[in-house]
Structure 1
């Protein structure tokens, strides 16, 4: 008789339910796993064998065939260990199916150690969410993964287990199994050591970052070394709104698959990722033999900061064009395509102008850099701003007229609420002005007649692209939202144009 146990396999962020079929026959002892297992799955034979014997059970000295259904899908990782072990114990009659927990409606996931303990396993949260979507009632997970599952435990019975014996005794009714309790996420921001108050001067730059955070706009800061670009970038998450439940689950899923939860359970604060310019393509974009999320996916719902932008490999920057526009990254391999979420706020910094003059940069500096950074990439960045050197008087001014991050965050939240109400009226599933689709941008970004004339002059003088025109409209919309204005006025457009400083060089 063939025993069937349910488990799952993960490719990227996609989950495939796997039916583990176990057939034990009285023939020459052997142990085979079929159904496109990768090396890790094949190695589970030794983990399962040792775990079963070290838990006090007998590993069958028969011919054992494990079939992983569907056979055409590649199975990867150690997440199938528990299901294989339970299938063998049930098929050999050593564990009785009492019916207390419906095995046909239960998913088993987790990696086994040689002594039968369940180890922390990557990708458990996506599996739990997929099991909920398919209507399964129960799932057994490693006890080490229970914290990441609490936020979805009201929709399914989640049974955390420390070892294989916990699962066995739960099925046989010897252990009083209590499902994991649902816990609300505390997404209130913890007190951060970083604050905009720390940045002396740079009031225009702070204003630009406030606008970028309010509208979800990408921003590029240009200036000489020591002007405060990195300080501003690292404090950007402190003025962004708290993540909602959907964002928390999305972000935690990515970190779960990447194996980077580090005991946190969930990711409730917006990520800040700052990869070095020497990082490999795969480290930043994602991929590999077994596709893993890269830095751009780890920055999902947060901030991706690329310092010394011109030093990054050109092919890496070109690949960023898709996530900057669509909020996702698709990685193509011979075995298929994998799509990761990558909806981040991009913050870039470039050091230009090596002399000691007051000017931030010259046209020749930018033209030299644009040989490395293509115009199409620059065109996809909403805002380009100058970050001048901090004046001596501002450094020595102990009164420090700067405002705290809390001040900017409150203004950003109010602007986001205005955007949320507007998008709901239009039936749009977006959150920020930066994602307004082109087909309705004229309806959402309603401008005055005089503002239209101003935009006409700008387009005529600088010969900017249609994409740049739309960027200016979206930035203007955000500035108007910060002021609580329904109609975009001249001053909003004029300020938005100032945040496109590279257009003067690129299109002139």
Structure 2
């Protein structure tokens, strides 16, 4: 009594874990049983497999059919086990050749008529199959996605019958072509913004170094408008980053038409999103917004309106670049190296400092509102700016600002300098170790004195150096100057005994010619 074997995968984060589908057909009462710690979707596969075979004119033998998903102690989730189970049954029935099936892994969901429906995780599964010297069988609509895994054999049939005919030699499945590549900048143009000189400068510095940015201002002050233009300032992802980001989107079922993600993603969840939606989780521990924004921008508008638990869940990923979803059965880790761009009003009504619309509960209104953001989370934000609304006169008469293309070219030059400086140690200034940032002698004394006076934490001190390094990169300077430190400190918004959200920013003056 032989056992048919078909390879497939289960997923833990973006890692594809090998699973062997073992099928045994033995004498006994008619029974179709699936074992191996399968969830409900996998358990229902037997009915989809039975219906698909019936649609092709095949019937299961009146025997005991046992399907084991090995290793048996690994939780199996998802409908992508339909296809490997069906192939295992067909191999055990001697309809498909066991020797050829041993050369492939398979993923796909079966419709009742035998057609193959798309599933999540094709790209990481294809990469894992290539690492094991296997080809991959997947639905036709996802063949382009699987082809990005490299030089592996990919079969992408539209239905189960076409796949059977291919292995029997009655038809030949051509290898699918790779999917398209995203090109061009995302979002509208920076030239649309009139005035807002300080905010534009802060956005350019944040984009140049990948720094976290918080914008504070009344409603209609241009915070969301500016945030929507930041992704267009960022350079394309490197090949390694593009593959990693695409794998996350593949596991989330969001890699449409096999389109490889080469532009930094931009995610803007609503402030009613739950902690699981932001950090990841749910019944199947899916990636959250912070992972979908990996190597891109996470924009949180109405920052204090997000649930407190969701905001606090950002703290660890902002430092480590990853998030771990802990469950009783397993711990799932996703990459989460994102750039946080946040926007908020100074108080609940939004007009804390507007003399024309005086807040009736000031300053308590602002204190209560900003109290929703914890100190440790604020300490992880590199740049804080206060934005004033643009007047109608500025909208009519202010000159047109620099275009996205022009600013992006400066940022690309700064990012190139960072890659040359750090190599594999860091992707940008926001990740750079403090000891790799070179300061001129007068800048060292200035930042030491300022950090002591402003009582900066060790994290805050390092982030000041990182922002100053980005300012220096935009200026083409080899070392960080005193003026770069002064500008970075002005963005830091930290003074002892002072509420950073309810008082005007400090003014630190240093000559741009210093150093």
Give TM-score, length-normalised by structure 2. 0.91
| 2:483 counterpart of 1:491 | yes
Q: Note if contact 1:157-1:180 (Cα within 8 Å) is conserved in structure 2.
A: no
Cross-structure match for 2:24: 23
Q: Report the Cα distance in structure 2 between the residues aligned to 1:118 and 1:366, rounded to whole angstroms.
A: 56
| 2:158 counterpart of 1:157 | no
Q: Report the Cα distance in structure 1 between the residues aligned to 2:492 and 2:326, rounded to whole angstroms.
A: 34
Shift of 1:148: 1.7
Shift of 1:396: 1.5
Cross-structure match for 2:449: 457
Distance 1:449 1:129, change over 3 A: same
Q: Report the Cα distance in structure 2 between the residues aligned to 1:220 and 1:320, rounded to whole angstroms.
A: 14
Q: Note if contact 1:224-1:360 (Cα within 8 Å) is conserved in structure 2.
A: no
Shift of 1:13: 2.0
TM alignment of 1:46-445, pairs within 5 A: 46-97=47-98, 99=99, 102-136=100-134, 138-152=135-149, 154-182=150-178, 186-189=181-184, 194-263=188-257, 265-352=259-346, 354-355=351-352, 356-357=354-355, 367-397=367-397, 400-424=399-423, 427-428=424-425, 430-437=426-433, 441-442=434-435, 444-445=436-437
Shift of 1:265: 3.1
Q: Report the Cα distance in structure 1 between the residues aligned to 2:392 and 2:332, rounded to whole angstroms.
A: 51
1:477 to 469, 472, 477: 469
Q: Report the Cα distance in structure 2 between the residues aligned to 1:379 and 1:180, rounded to whole angstroms.
A: 49
Q: Note if contact 1:34-1:66 (Cα within 8 Å) is conserved in structure 2.
A: yes
Q: Note if contact 1:145-1:265 (Cα within 8 Å) is conserved in structure 2.
A: no
Q: Report the Cα distance in structure 2 between the residues aligned to 1:90 and 1:468, rounded to whole angstroms.
A: 62
Distance 1:265 1:207, change over 3 A: same
Secondary structure of residue in 2 paired with 1:19: strand
Give TM-score, length-normalised by structure 1. 0.92
Secondary structure of residue in 2 paired with 1:139: strand
Secondary structure of residue in 2 paired with 1:291: coil
Q: Note if contact 1:109-1:140 (Cα within 8 Å) is conserved in structure 2.
A: yes
Shift of 1:172: 2.0
Shift of 1:368: 3.0
Q: Bigger shift: 446-455 or 222-231?
A: 446-455
Distance 1:358 1:449, change over 3 A: farther
Q: Report the Cα distance in structure 2 between the residues aligned to 1:208 and 1:389, rounded to whole angstroms.
A: 16
Q: Note if contact 1:148-1:252 (Cα within 8 Å) is conserved in structure 2.
A: no
Shift of 1:244: 2.3
Q: Note if contact 2:456-2:494 (Cα within 8 Å) is conserved in structure 1.
A: no
Q: CA RMSD in A?
A: 2.2
Gaps of 5+ in 2: 501-505, 507-515
Gaps of 5+ in 1: none
Distance 1:149 1:94, change over 3 A: closer
Q: Report the Cα distance in structure 2 between the residues aligned to 1:106 and 1:493, rounded to whole angstroms.
A: 57
Secondary structure of residue in 2 paired with 1:59: coil
Q: Bigger shift: 172-181 or 321-330?
A: 172-181
Q: Bigger shift: 459-468 or 339-348?
A: 459-468
Shift of 1:216: 0.6
Cross-structure match for 2:512: none
Q: Report the Cα distance in structure 2 between the residues aligned to 1:423 and 1:458, rounded to whole angstroms.
A: 26
Q: Deviations over 1:341-375 (max 9, x none)?
A: 11111000110151423999998665433421110
Q: Note if contact 1:299-1:342 (Cα within 8 Å) is conserved in structure 2.
A: yes
Q: Deviations over 1:112-164 (max 9, x none)?
A: 0000000011111111111122232x111100112222322x32111111111
Q: Report the Cα distance in structure 2 between the residues aligned to 1:73 and 1:148, rounded to whole angstroms.
A: 26
Distance 1:3 1:360, change over 3 A: farther
Secondary structure of residue in 1 paired with 2:311: helix
Q: Deviations over 1:140-194 (max 9, x none)?
A: 1100112222322x321111111111221222222223333456x534315x561
